[in-house]
Amino acid sequence: MKSTHGLVAILILAGACSLFAQPTTLVQNDWEDGTLQGWIPRGGGVVLANSTEVAHGGTHSLKTTGRTAGFNGPSLNLVGLINGATYQVTASVRLVTGTPATQLKITVQRTVNGTNNFDSVAQSAATGVTDSAWTTLTGLYSYTGTDPSALLLYVESASTTASYYVDDFSIVLVGNPPGPPPNTNGLFSGFESGTREGWTPRIGTEVVNPSSADAHSGTFSLLTTGRTAAFQGPAIDVTNIMFNGSRYVISVWAKLAPGEASSQLRVSLQRNIGSTTTFHTAVGNTTVTSGAWVRLSATYDFAFVNTSVTMYVESNSGTASFYIDDVSITFVPPPTVETNLASLGQVLSPYVFVGAAVNATTISGVHGDLLSKHFNSITSENDMKWDATEASEGTFTFANADAQVSFAKAHGMRVRGHTLVWHNQIPAWVFTDPNTGTTMTPTPQNKTLLLQRLRNHIQGLLTHFGSDVYAWDVVNEAIDPSQSDCLRRSTWYTITGKDFIDTAFQTARQFAPNAKLFYNDFSTTDTGKRQCIFNLVADLKSRGIPIDAVGHQMHINLNYPGVQPVLDTVNQLATLGIDQQFTEFDISVGTSFTAYSDIPASVLAQQGYEYRDYLNAARLLQGKLSSVTFWGMADDHTWLTSGTVVDAPLPFDTSLHAKLAYWGIVDQSQLPGIALTGTLGTKAGPQNARVWTLTFSNAGTGAAYGAQLSGFTLTQTSGAACTPVVSAALPVALGDIAANGSASANITIDFTGCPALARFSLSAPYSSSNGWNAGAILRNNEFR
């Protein structure tokens, strides 16, 4: 027996070379020593013998006879030999002469807490093994979870009686289990060394060389020419850079060589494990031209056990020559909850409940910890919608929603229900006319049927959730201010007019008499829409239709809508005697679903100020606004990030750490540039060209981004009237003022005609972060 024990092998390996897995042979059985090499019979009558009748290599093999069941066969105890790593198992098998062709399999019986699991490792084709030739079976094996108490590998057959030989059996450790990465250095290749910086031709016939003919930054890039296949390109070994179980941001700048027609490039990975190779796309096909540098970028969860990995750039088709530059692989720390932070829910508890939209995955693990720490209310992001709860008529599904409600109850949180009636995420059957099998047309019968389906749906949900859900978005997004009657032309409207709204609220009250019933919508602060909502609520109330509250989704962005419209809207609707909430709050850093590939620090700073101001508005609206629910918790999961569009609208980042948005709510002194102050400094020059110097100092942490002097107004306070002429191109840009830095603006004033005793007051407003961090230099009785 020539088996070595895994642990010893790994330790030797770690000492001798590097921390990542190299193929290590743990078991190798060739039976050349005439023994059974540790193999034992599995099953009563099974007989094992060392045989010289046939051999795959050498002159000996292991012969199995006497089988009476498919699961009988030769077996090897693996306890203590393997753990949660990944192994390649290989065996050559052949039937004893005269045995009809059959299937052979390698299986592992894994016993955990008294329960047997049968893990399939490798198998031949259905009748793939014969008595005339050797067949080699090979497969990868790994297991996760609790350590097994018994672990028995065996070679079995579909035939219950077949006799067979096994030879050249091996177990090779090919990959360590996922764990903390040995390093988090990542990679950067800027090629400014004028060398290939570890990059090579992937196949060998393409030519990969540093080039100063073009560069994304600096002087050099890496040029690949002479490609004869789409899969040829520059490659780099990332075995010791990307590790199983870690997340990376991959970024490659690319440009085609002059004269090449537009082409699609992508970033791929070649994963080698044992004798197996697999290919994976890390950054999808991206159109690249010879006219401009284009970034190929993605966040990539690297989840491959491997013995080696190569990253390379290839084309979707064609063989264009291309440059790459400024290649980076950046390790993204795994999410953790910062335990020393104040809870958002507690900070805002004098004013509002603080909620988050959740899904099946964000109620457990670190996300669950973040949720219970900072929030005291939840909304199911999708799992209480019609398509999730009643995908086919009368059959209700609540598994995901129930898990979320249970989480909320276990942590003393409130649950908002979202949503009973909407034109989206609604299954087709709801609007299907049973007589035609197609979408309903407006007839009295269809109206009756649709309203009945609506009642049934609401009854089904509300009786299920009962008092566990304290508030319901009964009707969502039914208003369209461009219509004269303010009602969106949805199928609900087409078939029922506005009756679906009445029916929904009445049915909701009937089956959840204590729930707070909401009308919920987006862009509620637009004047037209606001008035439509006002009219709708007033109308419902005047007709005795039960409605308790209005939900403002508040899907807003850096430029929209501004704080004042929010205050005005809530104040106006409050006159109707209803409650209000922000139900889906997020601040997109893009507009119209476009965003940055790297979100600039200045943008996140501005977002921090906006979070401060909008949440201060919520505080000011105390008594009129009862809850603020964010549409998610952290930027690792937001509806605004999809595909290549990456947004960052929430208070926590992709590692679940507090963003400036969080600090804007909790402690504004943390916001960059918050300590920016302005002073009136020297005055110099003649009466007709007096120069007043205004100095701006940033004493705080972080830069004051995009600082500017935005006004300069002199108002005469004494002396005979005169008219000083200020010549300044306002606003005066001051740029980014670094922490502990300062900047000045000189304003020239012509005081010709002003008497010696003339005095003026000065108002000079200034700001940073696009006006969100604002101050003013105010001086009274200023001598000219």
Q: Which residues bind ligand XIL (CB under 6 A)?
A: 381-382, 476, 553, 584, 639
Three-state SS for 149?
A: coil
Report the C-alpha gap between 560 and 598 in whole angstroms.
21
Report the C-alpha gap between 521 and 530 in whole angstroms.
10
The minimum distance between CB 507 and ligand XIL, in angstroms, equals 20
Which residues are 332's β-sheet partners?
Answer: 247
Q: Residues near 643 by Cβ (< 8 Å), separated by ≥ 6?
A: none
Q: Which residue, 320 or 587, is less far from ligand XIL as judged by CB?
A: 587
Q: Which residue, 154 or 518, is less far from ligand XIL as judged by CB?
A: 518
Phi/psi region, residue 159 (left: phi>0; alpha: psi -120 to 50; beta: rest), is: beta
Report residue 219 as tokens. Answer: 């002087």
Q: Which residue is nearest to ligand XIL (CB)?
A: 639
Q: Which residue, 164 or 631, is less far from ligand XIL as judged by CB?
A: 631
Report the C-alpha gap between 541 and 577 in whole angstroms.
10
As to burial, measured by CB atoms within 10 angstroms (0-12 exposed, 13-18 middle, 19+ buried), residue 499 is middle
CB half-sphere exposure, 85, CA atoms < 13 A: 27
Report the C-alpha gap between 269 and 312 in whole angstroms.
6
Q: Which of 131, 477, 548, 636 is catalytic?
A: 477
Q: Which residue, 20 or 522, is less far from ligand XIL as judged by CB?
A: 522
- DSSP one-letter string for 87-141: EEEEEEEEEPTTPPPB-EEEEEEEEETTEEEEEEEEE--TT-B-SSS-EEEEEEE
The minimum distance between CB 553 and ligand XIL, in angstroms, equals 5
Three-state SS for 682?
A: strand
Is 260 a residue of the active site? Answer: no
The minimum distance between CB 583 and ligand XIL, in angstroms, equals 8
Cite the DSSP H helix spans in 543-575.
563-574
Q: Which of 156, 168, 502, 584 is catalytic?
A: 584
The minimum distance between CB 275 and ligand XIL, in angstroms, equals 42
Is 485 a residue of the active site? Answer: no
The minimum distance between CB 381 and ligand XIL, in angstroms, equals 5
The minimum distance between CB 383 and ligand XIL, in angstroms, equals 10
Q: Which residue, 265 or 479, is less far from ligand XIL as judged by CB?
A: 479
761 CB neighbour count, 10 Å cutoff: 14
The minimum distance between CB 530 and ligand XIL, in angstroms, equals 17
Report the C-alpha gap between 741 and 734 in whole angstroms.
11
CB half-sphere exposure, 294, CA atoms < 13 A: 20
The minimum distance between CB 468 and ligand XIL, in angstroms, equals 20
End-to-end Cα, the chain, rounded Å: 101
Report the C-alpha gap between 126 and 68 in whole angstroms.
19
Report residue 64 as tokens. Answer: 């199995």
727 CB neighbour count, 10 Å cutoff: 9
Which residues are 105's β-sheet partners?
Answer: 123, 156
Q: Specify whether the CB–CB gap between 677 and 709 falls below 8 A.
A: no
Is 521 a residue of the active site? Answer: yes
Q: Which of 521, 586, 635, 653 is catalytic?
A: 521
Q: Which residue, 359 or 746, is less far from ligand XIL as judged by CB?
A: 359
Q: Which residue, 421 or 658, is less far from ligand XIL as judged by CB?
A: 421
Q: Which residue, 132 or 592, is less far from ligand XIL as judged by CB?
A: 592
The minimum distance between CB 630 and ligand XIL, in angstroms, equals 12
As to burial, measured by CB atoms within 10 angstroms (0-12 exposed, 13-18 middle, 19+ buried), residue 436 is exposed
Peptide bond into 439 cis (omega under 30): no
Q: Which residue, 41 or 417, is less far from ligand XIL as judged by CB?
A: 417
Looking at the annotation, which residues are catalytic?
A: 477, 521, 584
